[in-house]
Structure 1
Amino acid sequence: MAELQHIETSMDGNVIPLSNEAANQLSGSWPDRSYEIVRRLELHVYKVTKPKAQALIYPGGGYLKLMHDKEGVEVALWLNSLSIDAYVVTHRLPGSQAEEGLHPKDVALTDSLSCLDYLHKNSPHLSLFHVGLSSGGHLAGVMACQNHPLAAKGAIIAYAPVNANHRDYKSPEGKPDYPPVEKQAFYDDWPIGIAAIPHGMPNIPLFLAYALHDQSVPVDHVLNLIRSARQAKREVDAHIFGTAPHGFALRDKSGTHASWASLAEQWIERHL
């Protein structure tokens, strides 16, 4: 991979390509840009002068696109303010068009593991956190279950469908499968926080932020995870906000969920 380790300058950080396809192109305008098509694996890098930790950030988008600004760049800048180097993962999407055929169901996982390998090679001395919002939170949960030489100190997951999109644990009951079939298969392979499926139970501390009345991600998702964590005696800080909308991220300040980032900051400090 040495020939891929050049760094391209972008308007909002540095871009490290980790595969050989054509560069990705953002859609929309700041602060609501997204990647509708992801051709190559990229790390978007936001570094600080004296980092005390590093984080891999997984933007949401339902595994159909990536919400680059709202759930990637803005999260990276927040973590920079805490003296944390931030890497936004721009991974390929399951079932999307590849150079030959379609990307496999586990492409988001294998891409994220390649990013983890990159950090292990280049900054193994820094403590690591996984951070993901919405479907990116599901991916952060999947990464929290991986056995890797660069072990994370913890994972921050917000309003993510961690398990209730699995065909056997759907909430609400009777919810249809999600197209494409590769996306549904990935959810089925990785229901995070179901005690009966131990490979999907993270071994690292978790910080969770959810919305009680979220219609897109019913609170059942996180309640399953909390129950399993209690049974397994795992460390989980769970915050469920009564008036938060789905996708509150760092922007929505209309309720008590505006404090979730401050709570997460305290949690990070405790786990460094």
Structure 2
Amino acid sequence: MSANRCHFLTGFCLVFCATVVPALAQSGIPMTTVAAPAQPNTIQLPAASKVDSEIWHPNDAGGYAVRNVTRPTLTAFRRVGKPSLAAVIIAPGGAFLGLEMDKEGWQAARWFANHGITAFVLKYRTLPTPPDQKVFVAELDKMISGQKAAFAPPEDTPAEALEDGIAALRYVRANAAEYGINPKRVGFMGFSAGGFLARSLVEKGGADKPDFVAPIYPNMAPMSVPSDAPPMFVAVAADDFLLTREKGLPLLESYRAAGKSIEFHLFSAGGHGFGTGPAGSPEEGWMDLLYHWMRTQGLLDTNMTGK
């Protein structure tokens, strides 16, 4: 297995690798930390903790990653150019141990904003990891080499992350007029662990569930599809290790069996964590496919009364 198939947050997308991590030797995450970058247009979401424990560090691609998030936030990227009344909340990945804020958050949000769609990046709460960066990296390297470590990714979406996803949906809908969006066209896109969260919001979000959903290289296991499940868009690479955990494509089969709308794109290669699609890769331009899907679903028209 190449490092690209299960990169660690490029620095960190080790999403649920318990069955495959022994094949890797080191995480590649820098042992240095950095100050939190400027995040304009950011609001704090409700959370029990008032203590800010987050730790920012560079990833191995030169971007930003964060861990030990205790105070969830939502950062708005207002649309430019041809307007749409739709909005998308974006959840980065990182195995619920950290968040790949650049590659799987801000980059995608800027793409949407430049295509006339208001976007919000959700910095949701993560599981605790050692505050010392060197200790954290050492423990992470233990984990990915198959040794017992001080932490491990959960099997599915933690309750705190689910709460933050619901809080984000409620905030965007409650403030739809301020952002000039239709509260009935609020979608949720998640990468990797964020894709797990996107699925959980459909299954457990109740009346707060998104109006459309796009889990990107998510958990491909079966899911419980509610009778009012929103349309779903899924993208994953054929050599993603998450596909090896399942027989067939049970996520798709679950949605189809429930009679719900789903669009699926399987790219020939790209591994796990291709983000918005590197130039020259099989998945290059996949967000254009997502945009086309949103248009054909009637999400991009400018009729404020539309559903």
Could you tell me the TM-score, scaled by structure 1's length?
Answer: 0.73
Residue aligned with 1:258, SS: coil
Deviation for aligned residue 1:232: 1.4
Deviation for aligned residue 1:230: 2.0
- Cα distance in 1 for residues equivalent to 2:56 and 2:164: 19
Provide, for residues 110-135 of structure 1, a one-character-per-residue CA deviation record: whole Å limited to 9, x for no partner: 11111112112111634211111111
- Cα distance in 1 for residues equivalent to 2:115 and 2:294: 9
Letter in 2 for 1:13: P
Deviation for aligned residue 1:39: 2.0
Residue aligned with 1:63, SS: coil
* Cα root mean square deviation, aligned: 3.0
- Cα distance in 2 for residues equivalent to 1:22 and 1:237: 39
Determine if the alignment matches structure 1 residue 159 to structure 2 residue 217: yes
- Cα distance in 1 for residues equivalent to 2:229 and 2:72: 27
- Cα distance in 1 for residues equivalent to 2:236 and 2:101: 20
| Identical-pair percentage | 24
Residue aligned with 2:122, SS: strand
- Cα distance in 2 for residues equivalent to 1:198 and 1:251: 28
Q: 1:68 aligns with which of 74, 97, 101?
A: 101
Q: 2:283 aligns with which of 235, 248, 257?
A: 257
- Residue of structure 2 equivalent to 1:182: none
- Residue of structure 2 equivalent to 1:27: 57
Determine if the alignment matches structure 1 residue 110 to structure 2 residue 163: yes
- Residue of structure 1 equivalent to 2:120: 87
Letter in 2 for 1:140: A
Q: Which has the higher contact order (CA 8 A, sep 6+)?
A: 2
Contact 2:166 2:205 in 1 (8 A): no
Q: 1:11 aligns with which of 4, 17, 38?
A: 38
- Residue of structure 1 equivalent to 2:192: 134
| Residue-pair matches, total | 228
Tell me, which stretches of 5 or more residues in structure 1 are unaligned? Answer: 1-9, 98-103, 164-192
Provide, for residues 34-63 of structure 1, a one-character-per-residue CA deviation record: whole Å limited to 9, x for no partner: 112202111122112555211111100011
CA gap of 1:123–1:222, structure 2 versus 1, over 3 A, is farther
- Cα distance in 2 for residues equivalent to 1:215 and 1:63: 18
Residue aligned with 2:189, SS: strand
Question: Which one is further off, 141-150 or 45-54?
Answer: 141-150
Within 5 Å, which residues of 2 pair with 1:1-272? Answer: 11-18=38-45, 19=47, 20-22=50-52, 24-28=54-58, 31-48=62-79, 50-94=83-127, 105-123=158-176, 125-126=182-183, 127-149=185-207, 152-163=210-221, 193-194=222-223, 197-198=224-225, 203-218=229-244, 220=246, 223-271=249-297, 272=299
Question: Which one is further off, 146-155 or 228-237?
Answer: 146-155
Indicate the structure (1 or 2) with the bigger Cα radius of gyration.
Answer: 2
- Cα distance in 2 for residues equivalent to 1:51 and 1:91: 26
CA gap of 1:147–1:247, structure 2 versus 1, over 3 A, is closer
- Cα distance in 1 for residues equivalent to 2:248 and 2:262: 11
CA gap of 1:217–1:67, structure 2 versus 1, over 3 A, is farther
Residue aligned with 2:195, SS: helix
- Cα distance in 2 for residues equivalent to 1:133 and 1:222: 21
